[in-house]
Structures are given as C-alpha cells and as structure tokens.
Chains A and B, each alone.
Chain A
Amino acid sequence: MANMIDDATIEYVGILAKLALSDEEKEQAKKDMGSMLDYIDKLGELDTSGVEPMSHVFPVQNVFREDVVTNKDDSENILANAPGSKDSMFKVPRTVE
C-alpha cells in the first residue's frame, strides 16, 4: 500500500468526522482509507493544469427568492422527533461547566 495511514491521521479524521472508533475500527479504517487513497491516486496520471474545478455542471448562480414565511408553526411536531425537549426547546447535555 502506497498510502500508509498512521494513528495520528486516524485520530485527526475521527475528530473531523466526529466519530469515536474502537481500536478494531481504527485498524480497519487505516487499511480501508489507505487502499481507497491508493486507488484515488490514479487521478494523478491526468494532467489537469489549466482546468477549472467543476463543482456544478450547470452554470446556476446564486438563486434568490423573497424571504417570506410560507409554512406554519409546526414546533410541536418537530419537537416530537427530538431525543430530548423541555419548555418548547431542544434539550441537550451540559455544554458549559
């Protein structure tokens, strides 16, 4: 494998991806990511100098509409989906000491 993913990289990716991986998952992730990156390295064969990166295929620019409310207050149903709620608000674990 040309791309060796070390422990530090997996830790870092875990932080970015907000995932807590078990040791076993980390080892598997190192292997999987290494082989995927080896495969993706194939793109290096192509000369892309002077090519503009294309994010969208159609030249759609920013699309604007009037900022008017079209829906009704549905907070009760929305909160019904929440893992925790209190006084019409989402309830989350402690965020400050």
Chain B
Amino acid sequence: MNILDYTAVQLSEKIKQGEVKVAEAVEAVFEQIDKTEESLNCYVTLEKEKAFRQAAAIQEKIDRKELTGPLAGVPFAVKDNMCTKGTLTTCSSKILSNFVPTFSAEAVLRLEAAGAVIIGKTNMDEFAMGSTTETSYYGVTRNPKNPEHVPGGSSGGSAAAVAAKECFAALGSDTGGSIRQPASYCGVVGLKPTYGTVSRYGLIAYGSSLDQIGPLTKDVADCAAVLTAIASHDLKDSTSMEREDTDFTAALVADVKGMRIGIPRDYFGEGLDPQVKDAVLKAADVLKSQGALVEEFDLSLVEYAIPTYYTIAAAEASSNLERFDGVKYGYRAKGVEDLHPMYKRTRSEGFGPEVKRRIMLGSFVLSSGYYDAYYLKALKVKALIKRAFDDAFTKYDMILGPVAPTTAPKLGESLSDPIKMYLGDIYTISINLAGLPGISVPCGEDKNGLPIGLQLIGDSFQEKKLIRAAYTYEQCKEGK
C-alpha cells in the first residue's frame, strides 16, 4: 500500500510499529506536492527543511516511546490564518505578506504536542472572507477532483491539500461554513466544533463570536483524533470553555439505534440541486436502516440567517481588522509622510476588494444612527435563531441536511455577484450564529464526479453524537 493512501491514524500506527519512518511520510507528501501543487496551489508557504528537522525530532520521541498518541508522526497542513512561530503567516492577504509570528496559535501547539509534523500553510480566502478561495492574494486554489472548479472556502487550501494527499490532515477555521463547505466540495470530512471548544488564541480574527478552528481529514476516525488533540481550555482565550470529556475517539462506534434525527423541510426548498438533495436523503436512509429515528420538521427562520450573519460578521471584522495599520507588522504603503494618510494608503493597498467591502459594511452598521437598526437588530434575530435550534434539540439528537445547495462551482463564477455567493452559505451559517457543532461527511457525487457533503448539526457540546452518526454512516454506506 502506498503511504499516501493511509489515513492519519493508520499512518501513525505504522510509524509506531516501525514499519514507516516519519521522514518517509514527510518525503511521500513532498513528492506528491511536487506532482500536483503547481496546478492546485493548495499552499501559500511550504516548510520542507523545517518539516524534516521536525520529523527527526518526532521520530526520536516515538522511538523512546515518549510520543504514543494517534497522530504521532503525521504530516499536517495548517490554514494560513493561524500563527506559526517563525513561519510566514499571511491570511492570504497582501497586508500580511511579510508577517512572521513570534508565537504559535494554541491549536497549532496542541497539534505539535501530539507529534504532528507541520509541513506548510494553506491558501484561503483573504482573511477567511469568501466561499471559494478565489479572494486570496496568492492566487486561486483548484479543486483536486476537477481543477476547473473551486475547492470551496474559505479553508479551500486545507480541504484541497487533504483531498490531493498533499498532507494527511489539516486544520481549518469556520466562521460561516469555512470548514464544512470546502470539505463538502473536495470530498473530505470537516468538523466545526461547538464555540469555545478549540482555543482561538493565535487565530487571526475575522468574526470573533463566530470563529472556530477544526479538523479537515480523510475520514471520521481522523477527525475525532484531531479534535481530541486540539480541544482545550485555554486561559489565553476568554471565550474558551472548560469541557470535561474531550476524548472524541470514544465516539467511534457504529451504532445509531434510537438516535432521533430531524430533517428540516426548510433545507430542501428552492435553490437546492436535485442531485445534492437525492444524495443527502439517501444518506438519511442509511442511518434510518441502522435504527435511527428520522423525521422531517420545520426549523423556521432559515432565510434570516444570512442577513444576520453578514451584519454581525462584517461588524466584528471592521473592528478586528482595525489593527492592520502598517505600524507594528505587515505591509506599509511607501512614501507617505503623515500618519493618517499612511494608515489609509496602507489599508487601501493592503486589503483586497472583498475585505474592503465587509469592513465598510461593518463600519456602516456600527455607526451612530444605524447601530440599532442594523447591528442590534441582527443580535436580536440571532437570539431567535438560537431559540429555534434549542426547540429542535428538545425533539432531536441532531439535525441532518446538505452542506451547500450545489456542488463546487466553476472558477470565476461566484465573485461577480456577492449576494449570490453569500446565499451558498445558507445551510452552514446559522450554526455559527448559534455556536453549535456541525460535521460534513462525503455522501456521493454529482453526474460530473464532484463530491456532495452530508451535514449533521448537533446541540452544543454534542460532538460525540455527530461523530458517532457520521462514523456509522461512513461504515454502512453503499460501496463500503
């Protein structure tokens, strides 16, 4: 078997058994990168030398039995909005084109402590604003299943790198679907944890009340292992939650008997590609055949999630991105003599159009005279959306639906009409508003061979139920 065909957990097992060396795994990944990276552009930065140095250090620890966990020795990719000490971190923006952090994000440190080898930083939409990875300053990433199509976004580089075997697993971040949607488009597993499960320390903020880091992996078992490694209570993130049971691998049980699954009728209306609909409902049937109790219900408020999200996310972004001013790090406009014009020129030259669009919208909805009508209103609707989910979870263990209305669009089709692009987030966005966990699992392909994703949404802190159901589906689906 080719090393690249192992899942992350399988690879680590082989390494611990002495059948594969960590350096061989890293070598295999870089050989693959040599073959496919030129056409796919999954990475902004590759750290080959550093990866081999890290591999040697980790191999020693494995040999001394100091590292025994399920991810020891596994080559990983990290989305380029997570700080990595000594490694360029650009957020796929010009304004951070020369930023080398002096510290690492907590999630990255956790991964390193688990024995992961970080081989590079993956491409993304600039500041995670976008759904296609086309707003990156460093060029588009292409979908490994069909390079004419986008990989999704904003964690498009991470999803594509896993799908193209340019790494064994990756970290992404999800503010409105940015892990689940590219996972769906590229045919990999992606999980957005409950808000507060993974520390946001060192994650370059977009919408702080919505952002969560999570895994993109080849299968559900890898997903559980990565989430177990990165979940932590961190005093450096004041929204970090203290959770008791974070061994998510214990939920890898193929059994959904008696599990109550609700399918929101509102997720299957206009705009949903019939092929996506069929694949998702077929997946529901698989769970039903395994003993889950599946029924339809009305979630309500679905069409209000997108306007609520864009108001809140833009407001938070306009505040978070104030820090990019050309003073302490990053790009500074040349030849400007006064301070204020320097700020303005730096930001105007350093940010791309989508980022400017959201900063301006955010500045507007927070400005006096409009704050109540827009920002406060959105926070109230957010409370109603949370309430609708709370009601649903009194009846169901989880909600099942599609990840996105369509499979991956062609390159260049999405950016011309921002609102149309935002509408593609309809099934993913509301769970960020409500702080809930969600997982995307491959559940088929359309007639062009593009992957389709099944989304399972859980109540707060119920990742284990999601992992259990996703694992059951993965084990029992056709062709398995």
Contact = CB atoms under 8 A, between A and B. Distances in A.
Centre residue among A12, A40, A42, A82 by max chain B CB count within 10 A: A40
17 contacts: A16-B363, A20-B345, A20-B347, A21-B348, A44-B377, A46-B304, A48-B377, A48-B381, A52-B380, A53-B383, A57-B386, A60-B238, A78-B102, A81-B102, A83-B327, A90-B328, A95-B339
A69 interface: no
Contacts of B327: 82-83, 90, 92
A28 to B, nearest CB: 8
Contacts of A87: none
B304 A43 contact: yes
A16 B419 contact: no
B338 A93 contact: yes
A13 B238 contact: no
Given A39-B419, A42-B307, A81-B100, A19 B339 contact: no
A18 B364 contact: no
Q: Nearest 3 pairs between A and B by C-beta?
A: A53-B379, A57-B435, A83-B332
A86 interface: no
Given A25-B356, A58-B435, A43 B325 contact: no
B383 A81 contact: no
B384 interface: yes
A29 B377 CA distance: 23
B379 A83 contact: no
A60 B239 contact: yes
Given A42-B307, A48-B384, A84 B332 contact: yes
Nearest to A51: B380
A90 to B, nearest CB: 6
A30 B373 CA distance: 19
Interface of A: 9, 12-14, 16-21, 25, 28-29, 32-33, 35-37, 39-46, 48, 51-58, 60, 62-63, 65, 71, 74, 77-78, 80-84, 90, 92-95
Contacts of B365: 40
B241 interface: yes
Nearest to B349: A20
A77 B104 CA distance: 14
Given A54-B380, A83-B327, 19 more contacts: A12-B367, A13-B363, A13-B367, A20-B341, A20-B347, A21-B348, A25-B353, A40-B378, A43-B308, A43-B381, A46-B301, A48-B381, A54-B386, A55-B209, A57-B195, A57-B386, A81-B99, A84-B332, A92-B342
B241 A19 contact: no
Given A19-B348, A92-B339, A48 B380 contact: yes
A75 to B, nearest CB: 10
Given A54-B382, A90-B328, A43 B377 contact: yes
A14 B200 CA distance: 29
Given A18-B347, A42-B304, A81 B379 contact: no
A12 B367 CA distance: 10
B307 A52 contact: no
Given A19-B344, A83-B332, A33 B383 contact: no
B19 interface: no
A19 B433 CA distance: 28
B206 to A, nearest CB: 16
A28 B235 CA distance: 43
A37 B314 CA distance: 12
A18 B351 CA distance: 12
Contacts of B235: 63, 65
A25 B357 CA distance: 10
Nearest to B99: A81
A18 B342 CA distance: 10
B380 A19 contact: no
Contacts of B342: 92-93
Contacts of A90: 327-328
B339 A93 contact: yes
A56 B330 CA distance: 31
B291 interface: no
A17 B339 contact: no
Contact of A13 (B348, B360, B384): B360
A94 B225 CA distance: 52
B308 to A, nearest CB: 7
Nearest to A29: B360
A43 B382 CA distance: 10
Contacts of A93: 336-339, 342
A21 B363 CA distance: 15
Contacts of B325: 18
A46 B364 CA distance: 21
Nearest to B357: A32
A82 B103 CA distance: 15
Contact of B329 (A55, A62, A65, A82): A82
Contact of B310 (A36, A45, A54): A36
A29 B266 CA distance: 33
A65 B234 CA distance: 11
